[in-house]
């Protein structure tokens, strides 16, 4: 049985990962869409729920630093999966406000048929689940400690999936960028190898690497180029200029979360 204290700690880690996501999302989007509490809190709540579910299922050795580092990445990946799949396939929203469609599109043109989008969405969930199941089989087949080479390979595999998804969405509008395409696989390889120090499960390495890839890539795009709009709003006007100032108040929290993650990584090593 999981202790209630362990699940509370796990939910707290998920809350931090969700807050991290909510801040970079708000930082870029709020100047175009405005700030709403519901949208901001959504990622925080989902992150907390996902982390608690992950802990209940995998029973990570919380509160060891390595387990906290791993759980942060897993909660990040789970929250991103839930939100992005919902927005891409199941949410109905006016796409005219975007330069790059956020709903499932073919050749940069949004698919209007709800039934088609739902069908593709279900197929996507099944395909991703099958891929993760395949990775999980490596855990059952392994008799020895995890291999760094295999950890890198599963990281590369999930990174390619991320890159293909990003290319499908962005390339019709922005063009294909080889360096951008391989950015995700490079990061997931790096993080999968790092997480192999904290778990012997290839499945958890791969999923955690997805979370850290998203956290790193979005930090770079958002805060290293703050004046450059996110691709989906490229060329779109700033409708809420007051958020250019207000969003700055969230940066210390964002930095503090990254600092906490780095402290845990250092302690775990």
Q: Which residues pair with 36 in a beta bridge?
A: none
pLDDT per residue as tens digits for the range 64-121: 999 999 999 999 999 999 999 999 999 998 888 888 888 999 998 999 999 999 999 9
**CA dihedral in degrees (236, 237, 240, 242; nearest 10)?**
120
Express as a percent the part of the chain with pLDDT over 90: 76
Domain range enclosing 41: 4-268
* Domains of the chain: total: 1
Instruction: Give the mean pLDDT of the chain.
Output: 92
pTM over 0.85: yes
- Average pLDDT value for residue range 29-44: 93
Measured CA to CA, the distance from residue 187 to residue 154 in angstroms comes to: 12
Residue 1 above 60 pLDDT?
Answer: no
- pLDDT tens digits, 186-195: 999 999 999 9
For the stretch 262-265, contacts whose Cβ atoms lie closer than 8 Å and that sit 24 or more positions apart, written own/partner, are: 264/65, 264/66, 264/68, 264/69, 264/72, 265/65, 265/69, 265/194
In this structure, what token pair is assigned to residue 121?
């969405």
Nearest to 155 by CA among 188, 187, 184, 182: 188
């Amino acid at each position: 049985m999981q202790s209630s204290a362990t699940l509370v700690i796990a939910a707290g880690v998920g809350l931090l990962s969700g807050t991290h996501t909510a801040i970079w999302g708000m930082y870029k989007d709020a100047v175009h869409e405005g700030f709403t509490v519901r949208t901001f809190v959504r990622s925080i709540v989902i992150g907390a729920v996902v982390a608690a579910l992950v802990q209940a299922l995998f029973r990570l050795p919380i509160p060891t630093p390595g387990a906290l580092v791993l759980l942060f990445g897993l909660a990040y990946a789970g929250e991103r999966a839930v939100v992005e799949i919902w927005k891409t396939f199941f949410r109905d929203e006016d796409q005219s406000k975007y330069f790059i469609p956020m709903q499932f599109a073919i050749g940069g043109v949004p698919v209007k048929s709800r039934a088609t989008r739902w069908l593709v969405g279900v197929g996507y969930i099944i395909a991703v689940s099958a891929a993760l199941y395949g990775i999980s089989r490596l855990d059952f087949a392994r008799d020895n400690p995890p291999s760094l080479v295999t950890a890198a390979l599963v990281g590369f595999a999930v990174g390619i999936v991320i890159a293909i998804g990003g290319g499908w969405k962005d390339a019709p509008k922005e063009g294909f960028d080889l360096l951008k395409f391989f950015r995700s696989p490079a990061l997931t390889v790096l993080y999968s190898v790092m997480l192999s120090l904290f778990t012997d499960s290839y499945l958890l390495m791969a999923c955690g690497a997805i979370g850290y890839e998203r956290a790193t890539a979005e930090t770079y795009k958002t805060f290293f180029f703050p004046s450059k709009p996110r691709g989906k709003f490229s060329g779109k006007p700033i409708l809420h200029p007051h958020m250019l100032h207000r969003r700055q108040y969230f940066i210390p929290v964002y930095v503090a979360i990254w600092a906490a993650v780095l402290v845990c990584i250092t302690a775990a090593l």
